[in-house]
Amino acid sequence: MPFLELSLPCSEAQQPRYERALEDLGALAVTLADAHADAPDEQAIFEPGVGEQPLWGELVLTALFPEDTDALVLLAALESFDDALDWTQARFRKVEDQDWERAWMDQYVPLRFGARTWIVPWNSELPDDAQASDAAIVRLDPGLAFGSGTHPTTALCLQWLDGLAAANALQGQRVLDFGCGSGILALAALKLGAAHAVGVDNDPQALIATHDNAERNEVADRLDVHLPADEPVATYPVVVANILASALVALADTLTARVAPGGVLAMSGILAGQEAEVIARYAADFEDLCAEQLEDWMRVTGTRRRG
Protein backbone atom coordinates (compact mmCIF):
# COMPACT_ATOMS: atom_id res chain seq x y z
CA MET A 1 0.00 0.00 0.00
CA PRO A 2 1.51 3.38 -0.99
CA PHE A 3 1.72 6.41 1.29
CA LEU A 4 2.32 10.13 1.01
CA GLU A 5 5.79 10.96 2.33
CA LEU A 6 6.74 14.43 3.59
CA SER A 7 10.40 15.25 4.13
CA LEU A 8 12.09 18.45 5.26
CA PRO A 9 15.36 19.62 6.84
CA CYS A 10 15.40 20.83 10.42
CA SER A 11 17.77 21.41 13.31
CA GLU A 12 18.05 19.22 16.41
CA ALA A 13 16.57 22.03 18.51
CA GLN A 14 13.50 22.34 16.27
CA GLN A 15 12.92 18.61 15.82
CA PRO A 16 10.46 18.10 18.74
CA ARG A 17 8.23 20.94 17.50
CA TYR A 18 8.20 19.63 13.93
CA GLU A 19 7.48 16.10 15.15
CA ARG A 20 4.67 17.25 17.41
CA ALA A 21 2.99 19.14 14.55
CA LEU A 22 3.28 16.18 12.20
CA GLU A 23 1.91 13.71 14.75
CA ASP A 24 -0.95 16.02 15.73
CA LEU A 25 -1.97 16.22 12.08
CA GLY A 26 -2.03 12.48 11.57
CA ALA A 27 1.48 11.26 10.68
CA LEU A 28 1.52 7.46 10.76
CA ALA A 29 5.27 7.30 11.36
CA VAL A 30 8.25 9.65 11.65
CA THR A 31 11.92 8.96 10.92
CA LEU A 32 15.05 11.04 11.49
CA ALA A 33 18.24 10.97 9.46
CA ASP A 34 21.58 12.79 9.37
CA ALA A 35 21.27 15.58 6.81
CA HIS A 36 24.92 15.09 5.81
CA ALA A 37 24.97 11.29 5.55
CA ASP A 38 26.12 9.95 2.20
CA ALA A 39 23.19 7.52 2.22
CA PRO A 40 20.45 9.02 4.43
CA ASP A 41 18.09 6.09 3.96
CA GLU A 42 20.63 3.79 5.56
CA GLN A 43 21.07 6.14 8.54
CA ALA A 44 17.39 6.51 9.37
CA ILE A 45 16.03 5.64 12.78
CA PHE A 46 12.36 5.07 13.55
CA GLU A 47 12.56 6.58 17.04
CA PRO A 48 15.48 7.67 19.25
CA GLY A 49 16.86 4.91 21.46
CA VAL A 50 16.16 4.85 25.18
CA GLY A 51 18.82 6.78 27.07
CA GLU A 52 20.53 7.77 23.83
CA GLN A 53 20.82 11.02 21.88
CA PRO A 54 21.16 9.73 18.31
CA LEU A 55 20.33 13.14 16.85
CA TRP A 56 22.59 15.17 14.65
CA GLY A 57 22.90 18.95 14.47
CA GLU A 58 21.16 19.04 11.09
CA LEU A 59 18.44 16.50 10.37
CA VAL A 60 16.16 15.32 7.64
CA LEU A 61 12.77 14.57 9.15
CA THR A 62 10.44 12.31 7.19
CA ALA A 63 6.79 11.52 7.93
CA LEU A 64 4.26 9.12 6.42
CA PHE A 65 0.62 10.02 5.80
CA PRO A 66 -2.25 8.05 4.24
CA GLU A 67 -2.07 7.88 0.45
CA ASP A 68 -5.20 9.99 -0.07
CA THR A 69 -3.86 12.93 1.99
CA ASP A 70 -3.96 16.19 0.03
CA ALA A 71 -0.42 17.59 0.21
CA LEU A 72 -1.47 21.22 -0.18
CA VAL A 73 -4.17 20.95 2.48
CA LEU A 74 -1.71 19.20 4.81
CA LEU A 75 0.92 21.89 4.25
CA ALA A 76 -1.60 24.65 5.01
CA ALA A 77 -2.66 22.84 8.19
CA LEU A 78 0.96 22.48 9.32
CA GLU A 79 1.62 26.17 8.73
CA SER A 80 -1.46 27.04 10.80
CA PHE A 81 -0.47 24.62 13.58
CA ASP A 82 2.96 26.23 14.07
CA ASP A 83 3.59 29.19 11.79
CA ALA A 84 6.93 29.93 13.48
CA LEU A 85 8.43 26.85 11.80
CA ASP A 86 9.68 26.91 8.21
CA TRP A 87 7.46 24.56 6.17
CA THR A 88 8.51 26.00 2.79
CA GLN A 89 11.18 23.32 2.32
CA ALA A 90 8.73 20.43 2.72
CA ARG A 91 8.83 17.96 -0.19
CA PHE A 92 6.25 15.28 -0.99
CA ARG A 93 6.36 11.96 -2.83
CA LYS A 94 4.47 8.67 -2.98
CA VAL A 95 6.29 5.69 -1.41
CA GLU A 96 5.63 2.02 -0.72
CA ASP A 97 5.48 0.81 2.87
CA GLN A 98 8.11 -1.94 2.68
CA ASP A 99 11.01 0.54 2.90
CA TRP A 100 9.69 1.80 6.25
CA GLU A 101 9.19 -1.69 7.62
CA ARG A 102 12.78 -2.60 6.73
CA ALA A 103 14.14 0.59 8.35
CA TRP A 104 12.32 -0.24 11.57
CA MET A 105 13.45 -3.89 11.63
CA ASP A 106 17.07 -2.90 10.94
CA GLN A 107 17.13 -0.64 14.01
CA TYR A 108 14.98 -2.52 16.51
CA VAL A 109 16.68 -4.76 19.10
CA PRO A 110 15.45 -6.37 22.37
CA LEU A 111 15.02 -3.75 25.09
CA ARG A 112 14.60 -4.04 28.84
CA PHE A 113 12.47 -1.75 31.01
CA GLY A 114 12.62 -1.91 34.77
CA ALA A 115 13.28 -5.22 36.48
CA ARG A 116 11.29 -7.66 34.36
CA THR A 117 9.84 -6.14 31.21
CA TRP A 118 11.34 -6.98 27.82
CA ILE A 119 10.18 -5.75 24.42
CA VAL A 120 11.53 -8.07 21.74
CA PRO A 121 11.11 -8.02 17.93
CA TRP A 122 8.90 -10.92 16.90
CA ASN A 123 11.68 -12.61 14.90
CA SER A 124 14.58 -11.97 17.33
CA GLU A 125 16.20 -14.42 19.74
CA LEU A 126 15.83 -13.72 23.45
CA PRO A 127 18.87 -12.26 25.20
CA ASP A 128 20.24 -14.33 28.06
CA ASP A 129 18.94 -11.81 30.60
CA ALA A 130 15.40 -12.21 29.24
CA GLN A 131 15.28 -15.94 29.94
CA ALA A 132 14.61 -15.62 33.68
CA SER A 133 11.43 -17.40 34.74
CA ASP A 134 9.73 -14.17 35.84
CA ALA A 135 10.64 -12.13 32.73
CA ALA A 136 7.66 -10.39 31.12
CA ILE A 137 8.36 -10.71 27.41
CA VAL A 138 6.36 -8.88 24.75
CA ARG A 139 6.98 -9.96 21.16
CA LEU A 140 6.23 -6.97 18.99
CA ASP A 141 5.70 -6.06 15.37
CA PRO A 142 4.21 -2.56 15.45
CA GLY A 143 3.89 -2.26 11.67
CA LEU A 144 2.66 1.26 10.97
CA ALA A 145 1.25 1.85 14.44
CA PHE A 146 3.31 3.95 16.83
CA GLY A 147 4.90 2.16 19.77
CA SER A 148 8.01 0.00 19.69
CA GLY A 149 9.36 0.91 23.13
CA THR A 150 12.28 2.92 21.83
CA HIS A 151 10.67 6.34 22.21
CA PRO A 152 11.14 7.96 25.66
CA THR A 153 7.37 8.39 26.14
CA THR A 154 6.78 4.67 25.68
CA ALA A 155 9.81 3.81 27.81
CA LEU A 156 8.49 5.97 30.67
CA CYS A 157 5.15 4.15 30.62
CA LEU A 158 6.76 0.71 30.45
CA GLN A 159 8.96 1.55 33.42
CA TRP A 160 5.89 2.69 35.34
CA LEU A 161 4.02 -0.55 34.60
CA ASP A 162 7.06 -2.57 35.62
CA GLY A 163 7.19 -0.63 38.89
CA LEU A 164 3.50 -1.31 39.56
CA ALA A 165 4.13 -5.01 39.06
CA ALA A 166 7.10 -4.90 41.44
CA ALA A 167 4.82 -3.33 44.07
CA ASN A 168 2.20 -6.04 43.45
CA ALA A 169 -0.23 -3.35 42.29
CA LEU A 170 -0.90 -4.82 38.84
CA GLN A 171 -1.66 -8.46 39.59
CA GLY A 172 -5.21 -9.38 38.58
CA GLN A 173 -6.15 -5.80 37.63
CA ARG A 174 -8.03 -4.43 34.63
CA VAL A 175 -5.99 -1.95 32.58
CA LEU A 176 -6.99 0.70 30.03
CA ASP A 177 -4.41 1.66 27.38
CA PHE A 178 -5.83 4.89 25.94
CA GLY A 179 -4.18 5.65 22.59
CA CYS A 180 -2.85 2.11 22.35
CA GLY A 181 -0.90 2.36 19.06
CA SER A 182 0.78 -1.03 18.66
CA GLY A 183 -0.72 -2.25 21.95
CA ILE A 184 2.68 -2.35 23.61
CA LEU A 185 1.52 -0.99 26.98
CA ALA A 186 -1.57 -3.19 27.22
CA LEU A 187 0.50 -6.24 26.28
CA ALA A 188 3.19 -5.40 28.84
CA ALA A 189 0.54 -5.00 31.53
CA LEU A 190 -0.90 -8.43 30.73
CA LYS A 191 2.53 -10.04 30.73
CA LEU A 192 3.24 -8.40 34.10
CA GLY A 193 0.15 -9.93 35.70
CA ALA A 194 -2.91 -7.85 34.75
CA ALA A 195 -6.04 -9.94 34.28
CA HIS A 196 -7.55 -8.01 31.37
CA ALA A 197 -6.73 -5.00 29.20
CA VAL A 198 -8.64 -2.69 26.88
CA GLY A 199 -6.95 -0.73 24.09
CA VAL A 200 -8.54 2.39 22.62
CA ASP A 201 -7.27 4.27 19.57
CA ASN A 202 -8.82 6.48 16.89
CA ASP A 203 -6.65 4.86 14.18
CA PRO A 204 -8.08 1.59 12.81
CA GLN A 205 -4.54 0.56 11.79
CA ALA A 206 -3.54 0.75 15.46
CA LEU A 207 -6.38 -1.57 16.46
CA ILE A 208 -5.31 -4.08 13.81
CA ALA A 209 -1.69 -3.91 15.01
CA THR A 210 -2.75 -4.30 18.64
CA HIS A 211 -4.92 -7.32 17.86
CA ASP A 212 -2.18 -8.95 15.78
CA ASN A 213 0.39 -8.37 18.51
CA ALA A 214 -2.00 -9.78 21.13
CA GLU A 215 -2.36 -12.97 19.08
CA ARG A 216 1.41 -13.18 18.66
CA ASN A 217 1.78 -12.96 22.44
CA GLU A 218 -1.07 -15.42 23.09
CA VAL A 219 -3.12 -12.94 25.12
CA ALA A 220 -5.81 -12.06 22.57
CA ASP A 221 -8.48 -13.60 24.81
CA ARG A 222 -7.63 -11.04 27.51
CA LEU A 223 -7.37 -7.91 25.35
CA ASP A 224 -10.22 -5.97 23.73
CA VAL A 225 -9.70 -3.08 21.29
CA HIS A 226 -12.12 -0.28 20.42
CA LEU A 227 -12.42 2.95 18.52
CA PRO A 228 -13.32 5.81 20.91
CA ALA A 229 -16.92 5.83 19.71
CA ASP A 230 -17.27 2.11 20.45
CA GLU A 231 -15.47 2.05 23.80
CA PRO A 232 -17.66 0.58 26.57
CA VAL A 233 -18.33 2.82 29.55
CA ALA A 234 -16.21 1.47 32.39
CA THR A 235 -13.71 2.40 35.08
CA TYR A 236 -10.31 0.83 35.62
CA PRO A 237 -7.89 0.62 38.54
CA VAL A 238 -4.99 1.23 36.13
CA VAL A 239 -5.09 3.65 33.19
CA VAL A 240 -2.20 4.66 30.94
CA ALA A 241 -2.42 7.27 28.18
CA ASN A 242 0.61 7.82 25.96
CA ILE A 243 -0.71 10.55 23.68
CA LEU A 244 0.17 14.25 23.40
CA ALA A 245 -0.05 16.95 26.06
CA SER A 246 -2.68 18.90 24.11
CA ALA A 247 -4.84 15.77 23.89
CA LEU A 248 -4.34 14.96 27.57
CA VAL A 249 -5.58 18.43 28.51
CA ALA A 250 -8.52 18.28 26.11
CA LEU A 251 -9.52 14.77 27.23
CA ALA A 252 -9.08 15.32 30.97
CA ASP A 253 -12.76 14.73 31.76
CA THR A 254 -12.83 11.58 29.63
CA LEU A 255 -9.68 10.10 31.15
CA THR A 256 -10.64 11.05 34.69
CA ALA A 257 -13.96 9.26 34.27
CA ARG A 258 -12.10 6.09 33.24
CA VAL A 259 -10.04 5.90 36.45
CA ALA A 260 -11.73 4.17 39.37
CA PRO A 261 -11.58 5.96 42.77
CA GLY A 262 -8.23 5.03 44.27
CA GLY A 263 -7.00 3.96 40.84
CA VAL A 264 -3.78 5.15 39.23
CA LEU A 265 -3.15 7.07 36.01
CA ALA A 266 0.03 7.52 33.98
CA MET A 267 0.20 10.05 31.15
CA SER A 268 3.01 10.62 28.69
CA GLY A 269 3.63 12.21 25.31
CA ILE A 270 4.39 15.41 27.24
CA LEU A 271 7.34 17.57 26.24
CA ALA A 272 9.42 19.02 29.06
CA GLY A 273 7.81 22.32 30.00
CA GLN A 274 4.26 21.11 29.29
CA GLU A 275 3.87 19.05 32.46
CA ALA A 276 2.68 21.97 34.63
CA GLU A 277 -0.38 22.50 32.42
CA VAL A 278 -1.22 18.80 32.51
CA ILE A 279 -0.81 18.61 36.29
CA ALA A 280 -2.97 21.69 36.78
CA ARG A 281 -5.74 20.20 34.62
CA TYR A 282 -5.87 16.97 36.65
CA ALA A 283 -5.17 18.36 40.14
CA ALA A 284 -8.82 18.62 41.20
CA ASP A 285 -9.41 14.89 40.76
CA PHE A 286 -6.00 13.34 41.43
CA GLU A 287 -3.59 13.39 44.34
CA ASP A 288 0.12 12.63 44.52
CA LEU A 289 0.61 14.03 41.03
CA CYS A 290 4.26 13.94 40.06
CA ALA A 291 6.35 14.20 36.91
CA GLU A 292 9.38 12.25 35.77
CA GLN A 293 11.61 13.13 32.84
CA LEU A 294 13.46 11.04 30.25
CA GLU A 295 15.39 13.06 27.67
CA ASP A 296 13.01 15.80 26.48
CA TRP A 297 9.82 13.99 27.53
CA MET A 298 7.79 13.77 30.72
CA ARG A 299 5.49 11.28 32.41
CA VAL A 300 2.84 12.49 34.88
CA THR A 301 1.30 10.02 37.35
CA GLY A 302 -1.35 10.35 40.04
CA THR A 303 -4.00 8.57 42.09
CA ARG A 304 -7.73 9.27 41.67
CA ARG A 305 -9.24 10.87 44.75
CA ARG A 306 -11.80 8.74 46.56
CA GLY A 307 -13.96 11.61 47.78
In the prediction, which pLDDT does 149 show?
58
3-state secondary structure of 185: helix
For residues 236-262, average pLDDT: 95
My answer on whether 36 and 91 are in the same domain is yes
Q: Which residue has the higher pLDDT, 2 or 271?
A: 271
Domain with residue 151: its CATH number is 3.40.50.150
Query: Do 271 and 247 form a contact (C-beta atoms < 8 A)?
Result: no
Last residue of a domain, one of 104, 129, 150: 104
My answer on whether 30 and 162 are in the same domain is no
Domain range for 15: 2-104
| Interval 50-74: pLDDT, tens | 333 344 457 788 888 888 899 999 9
| Interval 154-208: pLDDT, tens | 899 999 999 999 999 999 999 999 999 889 999 999 999 999 999 999 888 789 8
Q: What does pTM read for this prediction?
A: 0.69
Handedness of CA 175, 282, 231, 26 (dihedral sign): negative
| Model confidence band, residue 209 (pLDDT cutoffs 50, 70, 90) | confident
Residue ranges for the known binding site for S-adenosyl-L-methionine are 154, 179, 201, 242
Q: Cα separations (Å) of 206 from 5, 91, 249?
A: 19, 26, 22
Does 42 score more than 80 pLDDT?
A: no
My answer on whether 218 and 291 are in the same domain is yes
Contacts of 286-290 with C-beta under 8 Å, sequence gap 24+, read 286/256, 286/259
User: Among 66-80, 116-130, 139-153, where is mean pLDDT lowest?
Assistant: 139-153
For residues 39-52, average pLDDT: 36
My answer on whether 35 and 149 are in the same domain is no
Query: Do 30 and 23 form a contact (C-beta atoms < 8 A)?
Result: yes
In the prediction, which pLDDT does 19 show?
87
Last residue of a domain, one of 104, 129, 161: 104
Q: Mean pLDDT for the chain?
A: 84
Nearest to 89, CA basis, from 111, 62, 55: 62
Give the C-alpha separation, 191 to 176, whole Å. 14
Give the C-alpha separation, 16 to 99, whole Å. 24
Query: Do 170 and 161 form a contact (C-beta atoms < 8 A)?
Result: yes
Q: Tell me how many domains the chain contains.
A: 2
Domain with residue 53: its CATH number is 3.30.70
Element counts in the chain: helices (H) and strands (E): 10, 14
My answer on whether 136 and 272 are in the same domain is yes
My answer on whether 299 and 277 are in the same domain is yes
My answer on whether 288 and 151 are in the same domain is yes
Residue 77 lies in a domain: yes
Last residue of a domain, one of 104, 138, 169: 104
My answer on whether 255 and 219 are in the same domain is yes
My answer on whether 81 and 121 are in the same domain is no
My answer on whether 202 and 88 are in the same domain is no
Residue ranges for the known binding site are 154, 179, 201, 242
